[in-house]
Chain A
């Protein structure tokens, strides 16, 4: 319980992984896919160096001064996200992207679904930079 006007504290942590994807929607014709996704529709895919920013909130434990043990958060994200995504084909190796187009919007949502289970703090937000010029955020429903 936090009253209106109280100061809220969040912890932000950044991670990086590299992965390939191909943007292609089965709901569109091949020509429409090329028109919509352009170079990103290349049949053999292409890659990005992604940056993932995870923000969590919670009470700062007076004994440790921390919202969550950073090593535990790092371990959780490594297991749930980085091991599953790094140096992989998102389309072929991440089950969610067999039915969803692996745009960075959908990637944010998939990472949110995976990190939401972190037991020590509340997941506030996932932000993913696909390149230094575009980033996407998802804060849950």
Chain B
């Protein structure tokens, strides 16, 4: 099923994380969210947890999950969403390589299939 990705010794990626926050620009600052605030959140919630770590063993939020691109993106969404105090988290895109990525976003109302 997993091919080379099943190597017992693991393997690594240089992930790229793209985070999009949506909202009305603040009338005073002209910003949806202060970029330095977003950087701090990303550093604290994602980089300190995951950068140069073994995703299978060192990230409690991934315990019991296979660290596929889909699952890691979902965990990052769950970590970030409650921390975005201004605007709202619109999309998390996690690139595992230049040719493979997973997107997480809230279901848009016109996508809802009831």
Does B73 sit at the interface, judged by CB under 8 A?
Answer: yes
Instruction: Give the total of A residues in contact with B, Cβ under 8 Å.
Output: 24
By secondary structure, the B interface counts as mixed
Instruction: Give the total of B residues in contact with A, Cβ under 8 Å.
Output: 28
Q: A residues bordering B, Cβ < 8 Å?
A: 1-15, 55, 60, 64-67, 69-71
Q: Are A8 and B105 within 8 A (Cβ)?
A: yes
Q: B residues bordering A, Cβ < 8 Å?
A: 1, 3, 65-71, 73-74, 77, 93, 98-107, 109, 111-114
Interface centre among B73, B74, B103, B113 (most CB of A within 10 A): B103
Return chain B residues, CB-CB under 8 Å to A71: 3
CB distance from A49 to the nearest CB of B (A): 14
Q: Are A7 and B104 within 8 A (Cβ)?
A: yes
Q: Are A14 and B100 within 8 A (Cβ)?
A: yes
Closest to A59 in B: B70
CA–CA, A120 to B47, complex, Å?
Answer: 33
Closest to B5 in A: A70
